[in-house]
Every structure is written in structure tokens, then in C-alpha cells.
Structure 1
Amino acid sequence: MNVDRLAAILKQAAQEEIMPRFRRLDEGTVQTKSGAFDLVTEADVGAERVITAAINAHRPDVLVIGEEAVAANPKLLDTNLEDRIVIYVDPVDGTANFAGGLPLFAVMAAVVQNGEPVAGVIYDPVGDDVLMAEKGCGAFQIFPDGRAIRQKFADPVPLSEMGGLASTMFLPMEQRTTVMANLAKVKMLANYRCAGHEYRYAAGGNVHFMMYAKLMPWDHVGGALIMREAGAHVAKFDGTPYHPSDLSGGLLVASDEESWTTLRHEVFTV
């Protein structure tokens, strides 16, 4: 599917279903799923409906797997990715931020063809710009006026000078305690509760590493492709490549393989 058309579909959904509700959510329109930080709003449901319908109208042969559809039918994650095109959709990434009125949320989509990621799109409804990548073509930030800026992940620095983004809440408690202590070895750590904005920030060369313990395809398939196209080294905790069907095993992103290995041994010893 054409990546520009996909970006336009995400933008349309944001304009119709998300932004009119930002800081205007009525009482009772925010629901809890698995916990206090796992929320769903009418904006999530409406945006996913619009995105799915628009993709199906253009490409009825494509299977769309959205976060909210999987919440209703978890068996969708068992889909065989071979010999087909699948588009994973996160209609509102960072729902807790959105529901809390914080302008750090994104709309994300990833295109997988025959089991391999071929495109990733992250749309920022507040800034009205897009981060996108196609396999082998580099990663770009596209602004409303048409400007396109090629993205480059940060150059390597020593461990003590590294700044990064890490989500530790899904690590088992014993491992989380170790990792949190080890993170004192780096210079800066942040977590924006929105993978979409974290990938956007990293693509522009603003951090030296990223770590995620929980892998859901709508959160990371597109972002991981964008990171690779921006020049980063991306692998699961065991050093193997990350694939769209992987739901566990963690994800570590770094400036290069040497930095990745240092972080894995010195910080993320899970």
C-alpha cells in the first residue's frame, strides 16, 4: 500500500475522530482495560473504525489488525503473516496521555508483507506532521508544507554520556529492580508513555538508546523499521532480529552494535 496514502488515512482519522475529542472527553468515555495505565476512549474506537474502513476501501485484499480489534478478539494476533499484506494500526498510541490532556499521543501504522515489515508511519495529530519509512529508503519527517527531513539516529557515545528512553513497567519485579539500579550508569533517562513520540524523538538523533519489555506489533513494528532506516541497531534482548510475530523477548535499540552490546551487558541485564 502506498505509504503517502496510508499517512493521509491516519491524518483523516485524527482530524475526524481524535482531535475533536482532545481535552473534550465526556464523563464515561474513558474505559480501563488491563490496568490503570491501559485505557481506551471513544477516540481510539472511532479512529480505528475510520482507518480500517479507509484501508479496506482502497485495498480490500489487505488485512487490517488494530489494537482495539485485538482487544475484542485476541486470536487476531495468531494470524499467519506469510503470503499476505497485513497493516497493524494503533489508533491512539499514548491513550493515557490523550485522556489526561497531555499532547503526547500519536496514530501509528505498520505494513507487513510476507512476514517482513516494509513501511512504518507515525502521525502526530497535534504537530500535524509525519514520521515515515519504507524499507531500504531511509526515514523522513514530513511537515505540513511538504518539507522532508531525513532522520538519523544519534552517533555513539560512552555509556556514561548516553541518554535514552526506557519502559521498565513490564519487566518482572526482580529484573526491574536490577535494571533501574543499572540505569544510574547512563546520563539521562525518560519515558513519555507513548512509543510513537519516543520513536519520533529518537529518529531525530536526540537519544542513544531505547528499551521496551512488552512487544505488541502496533506499538513497535513500524517504529523498529524506522529506527533501522535511521541507522540504529535494533535487536531483541537475546540479540536476534525482531519480527512482527514476536510478542515477547524485549527490544533494545542503540546507536550501533557496540553500543547495543554495552547496554545489554551493563544496564539491561534481564
Structure 2
Amino acid sequence: MTLDLPAIVTGPLTSAQRTSLINIIRRAARTEILPRFRRLAGAQIATKSGPDDIVTEADTAAEAMIARGLARMFPGAVIIGEEAAASDPSLRHKAAEAELAFIIDPVDGTWNFAHGLGVFGVILAATRYGRPVFGLIYDPLADDYVIADESSPARHVTASGQETPLTMSGGGPIDRLSGYTHMSLMPKDAQKTLAPLQTAFARTGALRCSAHEYRLAALGHADFILSGTLNPWDHAAGVLICQRAGGVARMLDGADYTIAQDAGYLLTAADDATWDAVADVLEPLLG
């Protein structure tokens, strides 16, 4: 059934709209993603920009299903998926300028998914003129999600529907902080700059999955996330969710984050003090 909803939403999404979005994501996961997990044949996996940048039939089929559902609900919105943007890069600019845009990462952590690792998720964000206003990160294996919008706090919702408010870690001394840094995705000169800086922290790493990195940060299990690859499908939802969980997210040079940002470093941290402390350590990245 198609809901009788306005083409463009100028305020927060309604409860009915949020429920419909969650149902769209769940159906896509159950129909197109989970049946293919650990069952992909070689012909169902292809590469894009390089051997580690892969796409599977689950990505393309789930994105198409989610996009169709969004188009029925919000016929006036710009809808951009990771795979569609790979074919038409101009969609990123259209989304950044749109009054309402929905951004889909149908299988975030595709490398993990394709190699049978259960660290992947579905990300959906809504933006208004490039600024995130709704974020949903769904774990198909656990059938749970974290969610936030511009007017309500971030929360974790279990498969049974139990909701728990989210709170970032609270930070601490630099040498006790742990976080995710996407060093392998950076140019070699940036890697050489970043590598020694990371020794200031207790622990750094990467999960090859922004969905779970942002989830863990919003749940208070990581203190910061640094990324130099600014694909909006990776970050828009997580940035908003972490902000609504009490965190801070902005560019390393201090600029506000919007999906129009396509260069620079995005730093998300537990609070203002933690952001400032981590940014001080990472300042050499700015050259």
C-alpha cells in the first residue's frame, strides 16, 4: 500500500514515515541481502575502482528495491544510491542541492559481506540542502538499528522493538582514546603523516564498514572516527546519529559537514573536548 504522503517533507519525518522507511529496509534485507550472504558465486561479484572496491548482486538488487520504495513515498525527492552514483557521479551534486534527498548504502561493508564476514549493514540518510536530517543504520543479521532525526535523540531499537537512548563515550585522556581511522583509503603521503600520529591513542583500526563503526561510536564503544573518503552514503546517517547521541562531527579544518563536502577529513568524536583534543593530534594532516 502506498502512503498518502507529501512529495517534499519540510519538517521532521512523521512516526508513520519512519516506520515505513524501516519496513522498506527490512524487506530489502530479507529479500535481497540475507539470502545471498555466504552464498555468492564468483559471477555475482564485480569490481569497480579497484580489486578491493567491489559490488555484488545483493548491493544492486537491494538498492533498486529501496529506491523504488522511496520514490513511491517521496516522489519529489532526489534519491541517490552508492551504485547509482558510481554510474552517474552528477547525482551527488543533485542530492547536495536538493530540498529533500535520500541517500542509500544498500550493503555497507561489501568486502566483508562478499567474504562471509558478518560486519555489514544498510545505511539510509535523508538530507535537506545537503545537511543530514534523518539517519538509519540497520544490521540485517541482528535485525536491529540505530536511528535519529534532527528533532529527536539517537536511539537503539532491538528486533523486539525495545528502544534505548544512545550516548557517546564521554572521551578521556588522549592516550586512553580508541577510534577508527581509514588510513588505507588515504593517499600514501597522508598515510605517512597519519601513521606516527596514531601512536598517541590507545587503539586505532578500521572495520571496513562505516555502518558498524558509527553504530559502535554512537553506542559509546569508540571515541572517534576519522575519514578522508567523503562518500555521503558512508557518513551522512552516522554523523547525524552521533551528533544526536551527544557527539560532535565536523571537518578537521573546523567547517560544518554537509554531503557537498568531497575533499578533506571528517572527524566525529565523543564531545567537544574530545574533538578538540583529537583534532590537535591530527592537525599535521592539514598540511
**Aligned residue pairs, count:** 270
Q: 2:242 aligns with which of 227, 230, 237?
A: 227
Contact 1:182–1:268 (CA<8 Å) still a contact in 2? Answer: no
Q: Which amino acid aligns with 2:72?
A: A
Measured in 1, the distance between the counterparts of 2:180 and 2:140 equals: 22
Are 1:36 and 2:55 matched, yes or no?
Answer: no
Aligned residue in 1 for 2:254: 239
Deviations 1:32-70 (A, max 9, x none): 111122100000000001001111122212221001111
Greater mean alpha carbon deviation, residues 251-260 or residues 202-211: 251-260
Give ranges in structure 2 of 5+ residues lacking alignment. 1-12
CA contact (8 A) 1:237 1:264 kept: yes
Q: What amino acid maps onto 1:72 in structure 2? A: S
Residues 25-174 of structure 1 correspond to what in structure 2 (within 5 A)?
25-79=40-94, 81-82=96-97, 84-174=99-189
Looking at structure 1, the residues matched to 117 and 98 of structure 2 have their Cα atoms a distance apart, in angstroms, of 40
Q: Deviations over 1:69-108 (max 9, x none)?
A: 1111111112164462110000000000000000000011
**1:159 Cα deviation (Å)?**
0.3
Q: How large is the RMSD of aligned CA atoms in angstroms?
A: 1.3
Please say if residues 29 and 41 of structure 1, whose CA atoms lie closer than 8 Å, have aligned partners that are also in contact.
Answer: yes
Report the counterpart of residue 204 of structure 1 in structure 2: 219
SS in 1 for 2:169: coil
Report the 3-state secondary structure (helix = DSSP H, G, I; strand = E; otherwise coil) of the residue aligned with 1:123: strand
> Normalized against structure 1, the TM-score is what?
0.96
**CA shift for structure 1 position 250:** 1.3
CA offset digits 1:133-188 (Å, max 9, x no partner): 01131101111111001101111200011111111123221221121111111111
Q: Distance in 1 between matches of 2:282 and 2:73?
A: 45
5+ residue gaps, structure 1: none
Q: Hey, what's the Cα distance between the residues in 1 that align with 2:95 and 2:40?
A: 37
Read off the aligned partner of 1:15 and give its amino acid letter.
R
- 2:206 equivalent to 1:191: yes
**Counterpart Cα distance in 1 of 2:96 and 2:281:** 35
User: Is 77-86 or 63-72 further displaced after alignment?
Assistant: 77-86
Match of 2:9 in 1: none
Q: Is the 8 A contact 1:140 1:150 kept in 2?
A: yes
Compute the displacement of 1:258 (Å): 2.4
For 1:41, give the aligned amino acid. Answer: T
Rounded to whole Å, the distance in 2 between the matches of 1:150 and 1:97 is 28
Distance across 1 between alignment mates of 2:220 and 2:182: 19
| Paired residues of 1:201 and 1:207 also in contact (CA < 8 A) | yes
Partner of 2:197: 182
* Matching residue within 236, 247, 264 for 1:249: 264
The normalised TM-score by structure 2 is 0.91
The change in CA–CA distance for 1:180 and 1:70 in structure 2 (over 3 A counts) is same
2:214 maps to a residue whose letter is: Y
Structure-2 change in CA distance of 1:83 and 1:64 (3 Å): closer
Query: In the alignment, what sits opposite 1:262?
Result: 277
